[in-house]
Amino acid sequence: MKINLTNGLCLVCILSIFNMACSFNNSNKNAMAAPKITTQNFGTFEGKPITEYTLTNGSGMQVSIINYGGILTKIITQAKDGSWGDVITGYDSLEGYVQKGNPYFGALIGRYANRLAKGKYTIDGVTYKAAINNHGQSLHGGLKGFDKVVWNASILPGDSSIQLDYLSIDGEEGYPGNLKVQVVYTLTANNALQIAYTASTDKTTVLNLTNHVYFNLTAGKSPNIYDHLVQINANKYTPVDTSLIPTGELLDVKGTPMDFTTPKKVGQEIDQVAGGYDHNWVLNKAEGLQEIAHVYEPTSGRYLTVATTEPGIQFYSGNFLDGSLTGTKKGIIYNKHYALTLETQHFPDSPNQTGFPSTILKPGETYHQTTVYTFSTK
Ligand code: GLA
């Protein structure tokens, strides 16, 4: 067969387009594997099986969750040198998580995140009393909050999300209404962990949900978070009394150790705050999901961005960690200031503070809260 020049060129063209398509497919495959979810038996609690779900995204980041307390047990991310490490506190097995005094590592918190003064609050003239569990106050939902119950877990289509469901019955821990709660954890292709909460009730109640994950972005290489640089978009915070109950004021952070409007090392002024940071910052934000805080750890290069729909954030510097927890991951000793939390929330004790945004949920309404922790390096 005689091939003229034009036809010959076309053949070359077709072959090279075919080659390009093949190599594009291959490089794509290497860069982005499909997300996957694996499961592992994690013991039993009150006769119910506990499972650990591990979500892996295309770049290899992993997030593990158990259906006891909806707890985040691992977040494995890459440092700037390419090494991988687990950036959250936790334990090797379920025994660790159920131990008395476990300070809510990785857990879902409800019905009311942080403190309700003396556990009391009033709805439509009726006074309710939430279970007291913290020096005369009600903390993080009471004696058996959402962190200590078994959630129903399911894997959602697409292998990037786990859905957790819990029905909190009328009167549980002193809260009215049967409350249906759903939490969806999603690990995205761009290394973001999204936590989406929804809830509905059949009686008017109060609700303030969050997650209590503790970060040390060195992945265990430093025993404290003093060199982590924190930035919070907040011009005000809610000061507290000696019982850590808000006084009701909104104070300016300017000129105080509470000023994180520009990145600042946690250790820089922590000595000037009794016990360390454990306060709610009033976020500079409108309604909707917005980026509101960052944490940078210079040795690993890890950079955490926090976005939320919530009006507040509890920045807690692990003040009550005292090295006494047992069964910790790799036997790590979690001493004071080992890790920090950025708990996105409505303000503590809002039901008793007329000046704070409302935490009331009525029948027919749907509660929504979304928080996204995104990991990168610099
Ligand atoms: C929250 C509170 C702290 C402490 C921890 C758990 O962050 O604000 O005071 O109770 O939870 O130890």
Atom of ligand 1 nearest to the CA of 316: 7
Model pLDDT for residues 151-193, shown as the tens digit of each residue = 999 999 999 999 999 999 999 999 999 999 999 999 999 999 9
Report how far residue 360's alpha carbon sits from residue 40's, in angstroms, rounded to the nearest whole number: 38
Q: What domains appear along the chain, each with residue ranges and CATH number?
A: 36-377 (2.70.98.10)
Return the C-alpha torsion angle 195, 230, 348, 184, nearest 10: 0
Identify the pLDDT of residue 2. Answer: 36
Report how far residue 290's alpha carbon sits from residue 232's, in angstroms, rounded to the nearest whole number: 12
Which residue has the least CA distance to atom 5 on ligand 1?
Answer: 103
DSSP 306-342: EEESSSEEEEE--TT--S---SBGGG----TTS-EEE
Which residue has the least CA distance to atom 2 on ligand 1?
Answer: 114
What token pair was written down for 199?
């809830």
Average pLDDT score over the chain: 93
Q: Which of 172, 192, 189 is nearest to 181 (CA)?
A: 172
Q: With pLDDT > 90 as the criterion, what percentage of the chain qualifies? A: 91
pLDDT band at residue 13, thresholds of 50, 70 and 90? very low
Average pLDDT over residues 54-80: 98
Q: Which residue has the tokens 């859905």?
A: 163
pTM of the predicted model, to two decimals?
0.92
Contact 204, 360 (CB under 8 A): yes
Return the C-alpha torsion angle 345, 351, 353, 356, nearest 10: 40
Residue 15 has pLDDT above 90, yes or no: no
Identify the pLDDT of residue 31. Answer: 56
Identify the pLDDT of residue 21. Answer: 41
Model pLDDT for residues 309-360, shown as the tens digit of each residue = 999 999 999 999 999 999 999 999 999 999 999 999 999 999 999 999 999 9
Identify the pLDDT of residue 32. Answer: 79
Q: With pLDDT > 70 as the criterion, what percentage of the chain qualifies? A: 92
Atom of ligand 1 nearest to the CA of 104: 6
Radius of gyration of the chain (CA): 23
pLDDT band at residue 81, thresholds of 50, 70 and 90? very high
Identify the pLDDT of residue 11. Answer: 42
Average pLDDT over residues 224-247: 97
Query: Ligand 1 within 6 A of 320 CB?
Result: yes
Report how far residue 1's alpha carbon sits from residue 119's, in angstroms, rounded to the nearest whole number: 92
Average pLDDT over residues 250-258: 98
Identify the pLDDT of residue 29. Answer: 41
Identify the pLDDT of residue 263. Answer: 98
Query: Ligand 1 within 6 A of 314 CB?
Result: yes
What token pair was written down for 97?
């998580």
Residue 74 has pLDDT above 50, yes or no: yes
Average pLDDT over residues 8-36: 51
CA of 114 to the centre of ligand 1 (A): 7
Query: Ligand 1 within 6 A of 114 CB?
Result: yes
CA of 212 to the centre of ligand 1 (A): 9
- Residues forming the active site: 212, 343
CA of 195 to the centre of ligand 1 (A): 20
Residue 20 has pLDDT above 90, yes or no: no
Q: Which of 102, 139, 334, 346 to mutate to test the pocket of ligand 1 (most atoms within 8 A of CB)?
A: 139
pLDDT band at residue 60, thresholds of 50, 70 and 90? very high
